[in-house]
Homo-oligomer: A and B are copies of this chain.
Amino acid sequence: MELQTIEWRNNKIKLIDQTRLPDKLEYVYIDNLKSLWQAIKKMKVRGAPALGAAAAWGVYLGAKDIKAKNFSEFSRKLDKISAYIASCRPTARNLFWGIERMCSAAVRNKNKPIPDIKRILFKEAQDIIKEDKASCRRIGYYGARLIKNNDTILTICNAGALATIDYGTALGVIYRAGEEGKKPKVFSCETRPMLQGARLTAWELKHKGIDVTLICDSMAAALMRQNRIHKVITGADRISANGDAANKIGTYNLAVLARYHHIPFYIAAPGSTFDLGIKSGRDIPIEERDAAELTRLFFKNPVGPKGIKVFNPAFDVTPADFITAFITDRGVIRPPYAKNIPRVLGE
């Protein structure tokens, strides 16, 4: 796959419009913050690492046009831009991480002329892109060591090329295992309500020649009962210092099922998804989204009765003790997480 989810092109942010897949591979070009905010909100771009990069380019997009007499004025305006981007979605750690990295780069260089700081911000966003590509490949390298020949892996949502710049976290592990000749097979949970598993994961795995079968989220248990799943691997949106992990709604469901059926449950994520400032999953804010995601299939066909109450959390939290290991860009982290996460990922 020679696709890149996010890049800077002709003074605009160029994104794959993920709401159009798998029907159409289309790009959107974003030249203002409001459009970026909408693109993130509507999940034209999604996936924690991709959101980190999108946020960083968003900060640059705003910063490049700041008119300021001094750093103090520049910084105030940068903070406003950052706060606006940060207000879009609450759960994924990488969104805030991307913003914070950009702001830190500005602060570190506050004695330089404003045009130089803008150039530094451009470079910082470019670095985030480069680092994400490298990070996914390291995750793939470490994770593939856990995969045996012909393993069948269950995943949910999309933690693939489309959730990152070009390779993926959970799917990066599968791609790498495939490159090593291990012939992994995948069951992709369709991932209601927004169907990232059907639209994105099934699409990119098929595109890459991985043996993939689409199932409804509710079918995972039956497959596990039939001993047809060897491992579960998902991505994450935010991981607290103790190893509790917020990820797409339904992940906790799979974690309970995996434990019951004695199947290893792995989370693949870069260091930037870990939020060491947060003690436990209880402190992770969970976004609730539009009821229409359930009651109108893809906002087209109505399927629920008019005015029906809906509970639509976009994420759930899987407690640390369900997680066999974290596959990170700095190696595999095993329990006890409260000790090992800060040891591997702390400053």
> CB within 8 Å of B: which residues of A?
22-23, 156, 187, 189-193, 195, 198-199, 202-203, 206-207, 211-223, 225, 249-250, 252-253, 256-257, 259-260, 294-295, 297-298, 300-313, 316-317
Taking the closest CB of chain B, its distance from the CB of A52, in whole angstroms, is 25
Taking the closest CB of chain B, its distance from the CB of A161, in whole angstroms, is 14
Q: List 29 A-B contacts (CB under 8 A).
A: A190-B192, A195-B303, A198-B304, A198-B308, A211-B309, A213-B308, A213-B309, A214-B295, A214-B309, A214-B310, A214-B311, A215-B310, A215-B312, A216-B250, A219-B250, A219-B316, A220-B253, A221-B256, A222-B252, A222-B313, A222-B317, A223-B311, A225-B316, A253-B253, A256-B256, A297-B298, A297-B300, A297-B301, A300-B300
What is the chain B residue whose CB lies nearest that of A300? Answer: B301
Contact indicator B298/A301 (Cβ below 8 Å): yes
Contact indicator B218/A217 (Cβ below 8 Å): yes
Contact indicator B298/A198 (Cβ below 8 Å): no
Contact indicator A303/B253 (Cβ below 8 Å): no
State the copy count for this chain.
2
Taking the closest CB of chain B, its distance from the CB of A308, in whole angstroms, is 5
With A and B bound together, what is the CA distance between A222 and B315 in angstroms?
9
What is the chain B residue whose CB lies nearest that of A203? Answer: B305
Taking the closest CB of chain B, its distance from the CB of A107, in whole angstroms, is 38
Contact indicator B249/A219 (Cβ below 8 Å): yes
With A and B bound together, what is the CA distance between A23 and B213 in angstroms?
32
A190-B192, A202-B305, A305-B203 known; A313+B219 contact, CB < 8 A: yes
Given contacts A187-B311, A214-B304, 17 further A-B contacts (CB under 8 A): A22-B306, A195-B303, A198-B295, A199-B303, A199-B304, A199-B305, A202-B305, A203-B305, A211-B309, A213-B310, A216-B217, A216-B312, A219-B249, A219-B313, A256-B257, A260-B260, A297-B298
What residues of B have a CB within 8 angstroms of the CB of A305 in the complex?
Answer: 22, 199, 202-203, 206-207
Partner of A214, one of B249, B298, B308: B308
